[in-house]
Amino acid sequence: MLAPILALALLAQDAAAVRALIEKDAWREALDAAKAFAGAAPSNAEAVSVLGEALYRAGRIDEAGRTLAPLATREDAPPRALVTLGLVRAAEGKTDEAGTLLDRAVALAPEDRFVLYHAASVGTSRADTIARLERYLAKSDGDDADRIEGARGTIRYLKALGDRATWVRETSPERVEVPLRAIPDGGGGSAGFVVQVELGGRKVWVLLDTGSGGLFAVERAVKKSGLEPISEETVFAGGGSGREASKKWFIPSCAVGGLRFKDAVVTTTPTEIDPTGRYQGVLGVGIFSGYRVTLDLAKGRLLLDAGEAPAGAVPYWDVAGQILVEATAGDGRRGLFLFDTGATRSFLSFDFAGRPTGAKADVRTYGGAVEGARQVMGIALEFPGLPPSAKPKTAGDLTQRSRLSGVEVSGFLGLDVLADAVVIVDTKSRRIAASRPPRK
């Protein structure tokens, strides 16, 4: 009897060691340890679970899903396995399946703070989300400080919303086409593309940024409407200190071309998003859910329609409002990148870039300048359908973003790679395609 008990104790010790490495952001070491653990006990549910957790943290979302899927039908499925598989399914857009998996995890481990925190993110009512986050906070002593503050901000926001619906579509045209205006970069290229949005009856230029998780604006642009904020929170992983005090506001009406909403929600910052005043906000593509979104960066147009992704489109994953895709470097390394039309240059994590020692780089994002950013030379990035780009890039610390996202973000795929491309984002199938038409 002693041998099986000892074996279980050793398995638990191995699982705890892998999870401790994940919590320390030592994702490579965690993955190596998890592979060794699962290799020694391939039929053990806990060993398979920690391998799936390590794969997900390493940004290998597909592989994590394949590893964990067989556990979903097992009665001895560990709660954390169900949580991680639920996060994979949510990233794939399978919200109902994700919600079912996360509900099972909570039923099995109603006092596990890891389970409670992640189970609050997908497929639950506002009341359930608040209840789970409050239970998480009651057990959060010693957990990541940013995670705790994020949970508190979410609770404040959801309580302020109550039962009120947001982003309610008043019109849903079959086809919407609006112009994109290029922002010159001073070297013959484009530093970004802006689109005109109607906010509460006022016309505002916003940066069309596939790397953004919503609608953001400089606070003064919203205050002029005489509105009052509904809640305050901290936005993480931007510029400045990486922690930006922000407010959320209800905007009675919002429109992009013929697509109109009521009770839109905008997050504001007191800091100027663009110091030169070329735009007053940032808009992601999340509000276009249900459409095929075509960004013709060569001809300067945004098209929404009911079509499907073309042949050759590749998957993307939506994690914490981020559109993440796989891209490769010239040496064959692959990573998970934010697909980011708002980035003039591609941005690499220090981990992916290899701790560059180049000159300091001036990189600005929501919240201000990115501290410690460096120039990077000689790294080519390639995305399917586009030629590799070896243009100069920048690098910085993405540890906070990766930790809070739960997956390793290797960088942002910017306009040096996407310049003059036609980008098609199929929000229904979660697939994305990019091509560069031949110049005439």
pLDDT band at 412 (very low <50, low <70, confident <90, very high): very high
Q: What is the pLDDT of residues 44-87, one digit of tens each?
A: 999 999 999 999 999 999 999 999 999 999 999 999 999 999 99
Q: What is the C-alpha separation between 92 and 166, in angstroms, rounded?
A: 23
pTM of the model: 0.90
Q: What is the pLDDT of residues 416-436, one digit of tens each?
A: 999 899 999 999 999 999 998
75: Cβ–Cβ under 8 A, 6 or more apart, which residues?
Answer: none
Mean residue pLDDT of the chain comes to: 88
pLDDT of 222 reads 78
Q: Based on the number of CB atoms within 10 Å of its own CB, is 338 exposed (0-12), middle (13-18) or buried (19 or more)?
A: buried
pLDDT band at 124 (very low <50, low <70, confident <90, very high): confident
Cβ distance 122 to 99 under 8 Å? yes
Q: What is the C-alpha separation between 90 and 311, in angstroms, rounded?
A: 24
* CA angle (370 as vertex; 366, 372 as ends), nearest 5: 170
Q: What is the pLDDT of residues 179-207, one digit of tens each?
A: 999 998 877 788 899 999 998 888 999 99
pLDDT of 315 reads 96
pLDDT at 104 over 70: yes
pLDDT > 70 fraction of the chain, expressed in percent and rounded: 90
Q: What is the C-alpha separation between 42 and 255, in angstroms, rounded?
A: 53
pLDDT at 301 over 70: yes
Q: What is the pLDDT of residues 195-238, one digit of tens each?
A: 999 988 889 999 999 988 889 888 887 776 667 778 877 665 45
Rounded mean pLDDT, 150-163: 90
